[in-house]
Amino acid sequence: RRVVATLALVAAAAVAVGLGSAAGSAVAAPAAEDVATVTVAAGDTLWAVASEVARPGEDVRDVVATIAALNDLGEHQLRAGQQLLVPAR
């Protein structure tokens, strides 16, 4: 009985981890139609770009984090002419 119960518990845990990973990747990776591209102008900051694309009432810090993740920006340094993926409005 213990062996069967342990196997059932391990199987349930594996399913839970699998579903959690699938849900997490669905949230982290927006669909192509959910993003737009902007070109960084001289003097632009990540905060300024995020402020421009944030929806009314949306926390700009969350948009900064999303843009950084979409573009793999480790240091949040932008260059003039750089193309950035941003959440679509």
pTM assigned to the model: 0.62
- The CATH architecture of the domain made up of 35-87 is Roll (3.10)
Mean pLDDT of 9-33: 59
Measured CA to CA, the distance from residue 4 to residue 26 in angstroms comes to 33
Instruction: Give the pLDDT of residue 89.
Output: 77
pLDDT at residue 4 greater than cutoff 90: no
Contact indicator for 53, 87 with CB cutoff of 8 Å: yes
Instruction: Give the pLDDT of residue 3.
Output: 77
Could you give the C-alpha distances from 14 to 10, 30, 48, in angstroms and in order? Answer: 6, 25, 43
Residue type for 24, please?
A: G
Measured CA to CA, the distance from residue 40 to residue 48 in angstroms comes to 10
Mean pLDDT of 43-63: 95
**Residue bearing the bigger pLDDT, 10 or 73:** 73
Instruction: Give the pLDDT of residue 26.
Output: 47
Mean pLDDT of 76-87: 91
